[in-house]
Amino acid sequence: MPLMTTKPMFDLAYSGGFAIGAFNVNNMELCQGIIEACAAEKSPLILQISKGARKYAKMSYLKAIIDAAVAEYPWLPIAIHLDHGDTVDLVQTCINDGFTSVMIDGSHHPYEENVKVSADSVKLAHANGVTVEAELGMLGGIEEDVVGMDAHEYEKNVEKFLTDPVQAADFAKRTQIDSLAVAIGTSHGAFKFKHEAKLAFNRIEQIMKTCPGLPLVMHGSSSVPQEFIDLVNKYGGKMPNAKGVPEAQINEAVTKFGVCKVNIDTDLRLALTAKIREVFATKPAEFDPRNYLGPGREAIIGMVRRKLQANVLNSAGKADAVVAQWEKLGKPMPKFYTKTCCGK
Ligand code: G3H
Ligand code: 13P
Ligand code: ZN
């Protein structure tokens, strides 16, 4: 049963010219859509769960849905990851709940505090066989809320929020993290750029020099495809000027640099929302949830399959190699996977 940490995945992805898609799960349709797409494309994947997802769906329900997916596709390499964990307590809870990987996001704290919460999380997680991602630098979107800055101001000052390569080396050494989420110009949500969409590839290059071999993670990596924005807007939505990271730039980060994990949530939300809006607008009498959530789930499958292709993440067809790497490492499993869950 290849439920695994991110290590076997990143071992291959770092220099293999591909990245693992980390897709956010909030309900059954999202989970099924993601899994079915990855199974169809034979792609390794990371299912990630935010604090908000835990609150919305309850972890016990999410765990049961994920366990069902794992049972359905026993050959598919899957990691279960905490997205944007904000406290060491939440990290501990997720370890207890059987997560195989966690993120501690102390990026909004002063540097020394970020080092402390990240190093503390690593101690806990590694003692239980769980891998850890931490973040340095400041993305737009959810983190900018913390300091009350709007997206326009962020974009104007983006250079000074990017991850500092020298600090990154110190951070990695002192925390012993397994991967680093870097700020290189991406941001969360559907409105990422007011002007030209442009990632700071020179920063990734510098970070790779100061932190050789450290797997890098890109948050805020939805591409906000125009056709989905058009559908949303056509059927009563209002999302003017939505803009994401062009898929060609994601692909460059993945194939030329050490980006091993690419986080995608907004594009799944868009696919689901566009389809549901279309059904409601074209069939106003429809009220059977299966008849709008079903097409929504199909749209998620399409969106995820699109991401796995060679021109984006290039992870299609890599499942068997990741399983082989996992076996080579001795099939490491977190200590708590079988423990019944779940904490709040
Ligand atoms: O980066 C954040 C993810 O999109 C999760 O969002 O906290 O609303 O679940 P959420
Ligand atoms: P998007 O909002 O671009 O999908 O980013 C999601 C993310 O980074 C989750 O951690
Ligand atoms: Zn994120």
- For residue range 293-339, list pLDDT tens digits in order: 999 999 999 999 999 999 999 999 999 999 999 999 999 888 877 66
Cβ–Cβ < 8 Å for 218, 135: no
- pLDDT, mean of residues 234-243: 96
* Ramachandran area for residue 141 (φ above 0: left; ψ -120 to 50: alpha; else beta): left
pLDDT tops 50 at residue 110: yes
Please list the residues that pair with 48 across neighbouring strands: 24, 81
CATH of the domain at 80: 3.20.20.70
Instruction: Kindly state whether residue 344 falls inside one of the protein's structural domains.
Output: no
pLDDT value at residue 150: 63
- pLDDT, mean of residues 271-289: 98
pLDDT value at residue 339: 62
Cβ–Cβ < 8 Å for 273, 309: no
Residue-wise pLDDT tens digits, 91-109: 999 999 999 999 999 999 9
For residue 159, what pLDDT band results from cuts at 50, 70 and 90?
confident
Q: DSSP for 204-245?
A: HHHHHHHSTT--EEE-S-----HHHHHHHHHTT---TT-B--
d(CA 293, CA 285): 15
pLDDT value at residue 142: 46
Instruction: Kindly state whether residue 156 falls inside one of the protein's structural domains.
Output: yes
* Cβ of 50 below 6 Å from ligand 2: no
| 86: annotated active-site residue | no
Instruction: Kindly state whether residue 343 falls inside one of the protein's structural domains.
Output: no
Instruction: Kindly state whether residue 333 falls inside one of the protein's structural domains.
Output: no
Residue-wise pLDDT tens digits, 4-17: 999 999 999 999 99
Q: Is 344 in a helix, a strand, or coil?
A: coil
* Ramachandran area for residue 105 (φ above 0: left; ψ -120 to 50: alpha; else beta): beta
State which residues form the domain around 228: 7-328
Distance 272 CA to ligand 2 centre (A): 15
Instruction: Kindly state whether residue 336 falls inside one of the protein's structural domains.
Output: no
| 235 vs 197, higher pLDDT | 235
pLDDT tops 50 at residue 146: no
Closest CA to 274 of 319, 230, 338, 324: 230
Name the residue of 101, 221, 313 to mutate for ligand 2: max ligand atoms within 8 A of Cβ: 221
| 157 vs 315, higher pLDDT | 315
Instruction: Kindly state whether residue 341 falls inside one of the protein's structural domains.
Output: no
pLDDT value at residue 154: 61
Dihedral sign computed on CA atoms, order 217, 214, 83, 316: positive
Written as six digits, the tokens of 221 are 């990596």
Domain count, the chain: 1
pLDDT tops 50 at residue 72: yes
Instruction: Kindly state whether residue 60 falls inside one of the protein's structural domains.
Output: yes
Question: Which ligand has an atom closest to residue 263 CA?
Answer: 2
Q: Is 58 in a helix, a strand, or coil?
A: coil
Distance 262 CA to ligand 3 centre (A): 9
pLDDT tops 50 at residue 145: no
The contacts of residue 162 (CB under 8 Å, 6+ apart) are 137, 182, 183, 184, 185, 200, 203
| 100 vs 140, higher pLDDT | 100
| 182 vs 144, higher pLDDT | 182
The whole model's pTM is what? 0.95
* Cβ of 178 below 6 Å from ligand 1: no
Distance 240 CA to ligand 3 centre (A): 22
Instruction: Kindly state whether residue 334 falls inside one of the protein's structural domains.
Output: no
Name the residue of 55, 84, 217, 245 to mutate for ligand 1: max ligand atoms within 8 A of Cβ: 84
